[in-house]
Amino acid sequence: MSTTKKATSALISVFHKDGLEPLVKKFNELGITIYSTGGTEKFIKELGIPVIPVEDVTSYPSILGGRVKTLHPKVFGGILNRQDNENDQAQLAEFEIPQLDIVIVDLYPFEKTVASGASEQDIIEKIDIGGISLIRAAAKNFKDVLCVSSMEDYSEVLDIITASNGTTTLEDRKRFAAKSFNVSSHYDTAIFNYFNAEKEETVLKISETQGKALRYGENPHQKGFFFGDFDAMFNKLHGKELSYNNLLDVDAAINLMNEFKNDEPTFAILKHNNACGLASRSTLHQAYVDALAGDPVSAFGGVLISNKEIDKATAEEIHKLFCEVVIAPSYTDEALEIVKGKKNRIILIQNDVALPDTLVRTCLNGVLVQEKDHKTDTIEDLTNATETKPTASEIEDLIFASKLCKHTKSNTIVLAKGKQLCASGTGQTSRVDALNQAIHKAKSFNFDLDGAVMASDAFFPFPDCVEIAGTNGITSVIQPGGSIKDQLSVDYCNEHKISMVMTGTRHFKH
């Protein structure tokens, strides 16, 4: 049996008419009989092209306000019959069922309706029944039927039937079947997640229809992919394609800077998902200079991010550094020309797009899912644990350090002074190691820790950390508290006039 099929008929029933006209005209030119319904039928008629209403085939009108139009054996028989099966063909003749070789159907815009904040009744009405059934039927019978389930595919279908005079190959039909089942499965996932918003069913369903292959994963011998709408999140103005590791660092940068979104000019430099520089200042230029001072060595090849428009003065400083990515809400024309001076440097404008509320990662032979840590420590969350109270400037630094601590790998200790990162101890197996690492780094870059503050992502099980901090000039500490030995740390701070506040919230980041 030949695997090529010359189409003689098509069923077209779509919500979106964009791009449909050239395809319909080509069908007419090729002598392909067109069947249609409702608004699509009207659209085709207005083009002056012959079209047969589905009601003429089924002898049954559209009922229930359009909820039932195509759900009929004469429609589905025309799609699901096997053209190499004698019994199927005999039944088509017996019941006067037309053969349908091409099915062009899309679905009601369920996700857009949900996103618009529409009422539940409007949302429910956008759950497609006939369309999804037609797609499944046509895709199932790809041996004989071409299923087109998205207006994004119209131009490709037009090219195929134009080049082949209305003929399709089995490979074409199977490929479009895969596209169609992608559409149907994504649609059903969106509907399920709407109904399961409260997670009453402990089930994970994720569907991302936009994706791209990356050059490789974390290392050149690993394949890597990104699934998501990167173009909605950013306007990429310049530079090479982002790598897997770039994307991880960009994600870390975005989540960190969201903590400072409405603050004074703030600049961060990240390397391997952790900030190696962060500062808030009255000008962005000074914020960048002081962020870079936090660790100018690690900044090499890093990801830079700002919460304000990058100006010429800041761009001139940035251009002195080899960096992979620069992210900002905007750039002045002069600044943009300067930072574009390196051909591979990736320049991104961050758009105001909501990030997911859940975090997903593979684990063992399954998947771990958790709510995002939306809690940001504020002044109202602070409880004074010591007799010595932090000064107003120390409180500012404590909140600054806490925000950064939340976005740094555990175990972590952050040292800050004057809303500038002095150093972090990141990803250590003990909190003492994290603190010693931070102190060593701060001193190696000539930071004076007298009057600095310390933030910890979890409680101190022993007083050793506050003892080390105190002997190195730290005057104020922020931590969640909760250890059965909290009082030992509090006692040391009281004895040495160190202020300590507790937040009651742990911010582990594993």
Catalytic residues, by residue number, are 140, 272
Query: Vertex 90, ends 89 and 94: CA angle to 5°?
Result: 120
> What does residue 186 show for φ and ψ, rounded to 5 degrees?
-65, -40
d(CA 91, CA 73): 11
Dmax over CA atoms of the chain, in Å, equals 98
Strand partners, 368: 361
- Contact of 81 with 92, CB cutoff 8 Å: yes
* Alpha-helix residue ranges (DSSP H) falling in 319-463: 333-339, 392-406, 431-444
SS3 338: helix
Beta strands in 143-273 (DSSP E): 146-148, 167-168, 211-213, 225-227, 234-238, 266-271
- Non-local (6+) Cβ contacts of 485 within 8 A are 460, 461, 462, 463
- Contact of 52 with 32, CB cutoff 8 Å: no
Query: Vertex 113, ends 108 and 117: CA angle to 5°?
Result: 170
Q: Which of 510, 509, 487, 489 is nearest to 498 (CA)?
A: 489
Q: Round the CA-based radius of gyration of the chain to a whole number and report it.
A: 31
> What does residue 491 show for φ and ψ, rounded to 5 degrees?
-60, -45
SS3 116: coil
Q: How many CA atoms lie within 13 A of 376 on its CB side?
A: 14
